[in-house]
C-alpha cells in the first residue's frame, strides 16, 4: 500500500502527539471520526505505526549524559558480528546500535548519569563485548536538536 496525503497527515499528527483522541485527529486531518479510525487501524495493521510510546526527559530520570561510542571489531565474519550484536543488545544503557559504513563498524548511543557512571558502563559492559579491537567515546556537550519524527 502506498501512503496518500491523508495518511501522511495522520502519521505526522500522531508523531507530534501520540495520545491525541480520534476525534481531535479526525478534525486535524478533515475526516469523519469513523473514517479516521479505520485509516489508523489500517496504518497499524500494515506496520506503518509500530507502537505508541512515552518519550521521557533524560535529565528527570537521571541520565542526562549522552555518549556516542564508535567500535571497530577485529573482523567482519558473520559469527563475530552476530556475537557482538547479541551482546550489545543486553546492555541496558545503550539506546541505539548501528552497523556503519566508514571508519568504525558500529556506533552506539549510550546514556549515563555522568562521566563516572559511563566509566562503570565501560568497565562492566563495553570492555567485555566480544570481538572488539578498538573503541572511541565522544561525550555530547549539548543537544542542539532532537526529534523522533520521521519525515512523511
What's the confidence (pLDDT) of residue 70?
98
Q: What is the rounded distance in angstroms from the CA atom of residue 140 to the CA atom of residue 23?
A: 40
Domain for residue 122, yes or no?
A: yes
Number of domains in the chain: 2
Domain for residue 152, yes or no?
A: no
Segment 98-126 shows an average pLDDT of: 98
Are residues 85 and 34 part of one domain? no
Domain for residue 82, yes or no?
A: yes
**Residue found under cell 565474519:** 77
pLDDT per position as a tens digit, 58-111? 999 999 999 999 999 999 999 999 999 999 999 999 999 999 999 999 999 999
CA distances from 33 to 5, 78, 152 (A): 17, 49, 22
Segment 125-134 shows an average pLDDT of: 97
CATH number at residue 109: 3.30.70.920
Mean pLDDT over the full length of the chain = 97
Are residues 70 and 24 part of one domain? no
Are residues 120 and 76 part of one domain? yes
Domain for residue 57, yes or no?
A: no
Region for residue 146 given its phi and psi (left: phi exceeds 0; alpha: psi -120 to 50; beta: otherwise): beta
Are residues 128 and 80 part of one domain? yes
Domain for residue 51, yes or no?
A: no
CA distances from 92 to 7, 36, 43, 95, 125 (A): 35, 37, 30, 8, 10
pLDDT band at 1 (very low <50, low <70, confident <90, very high): confident
Segment 42-48 shows an average pLDDT of: 97
What's the confidence (pLDDT) of residue 83?
97
What's the confidence (pLDDT) of residue 26?
98
CB neighbourhood size of 152 (10 A): 14
Are residues 113 and 78 part of one domain? yes
**Percentage of the chain with pLDDT > 70?**
100
CA atoms within 13 A on the CB side of 140: 18
CATH number at residue 24: 1.10.10.10
Radius of gyration (Cα) for the chain, nearest Å?
A: 20
Are residues 124 and 83 part of one domain? yes
Rounded to two decimals, what is the model's pTM?
0.91
Segment 43-51 shows an average pLDDT of: 97
Domain for residue 29, yes or no?
A: yes
33-45 vs 5-16: helix crossing angle, rounded to 10? 80
Segment 8-13 shows an average pLDDT of: 98
Are residues 79 and 26 part of one domain? no
Structural domain of 126: 65-139
Phi, psi of 59 (to 5 degrees): -65, -45
Amino acid at each position: 500500500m502506498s501512503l496518500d496525503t491523508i495518511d501522511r497527515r495522520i502519521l505526522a499528527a500522531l508523531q507530534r502527539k501520540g495520545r491525541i483522541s480520534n476525534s481531535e485527529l479526525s478534525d486535524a486531518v478533515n475526516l469523519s471520526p469513523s473514517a479516521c479510525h479505520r485509516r489508523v487501524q489500517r496504518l497499524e495493521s500494515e506496520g506503518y505505526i509500530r507502537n505508541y510510546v512515552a518519550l521521557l526527559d533524560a535529565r528527570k530520570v537521571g541520565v542526562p549524559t549522552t555518549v556516542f561510542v564508535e567500535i571497530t571489531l577485529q573482523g567482519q565474519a558473520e559469527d563475530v558480528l552476530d556475537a557482538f550484536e547479541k551482546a550489545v543488545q543486553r546492555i541496558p544503557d545503550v539506546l541505539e546500535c548501528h552497523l556503519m559504513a566508514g571508519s568504525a563498524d558500529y556506533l552506539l548511543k549510550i546514556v549515563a548519569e555522568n562521566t563516572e557512571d559511563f566509566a562503570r558502563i565501560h568497565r562492566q559492559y563495553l570492555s567485555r563485548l566480544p570481538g572488539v579491537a578498538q573503541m572511541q567515546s565522544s561525550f555530547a556537550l549539548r543537544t542542539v536538536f532532537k526529534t523522533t519524527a520521521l519525515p512523511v
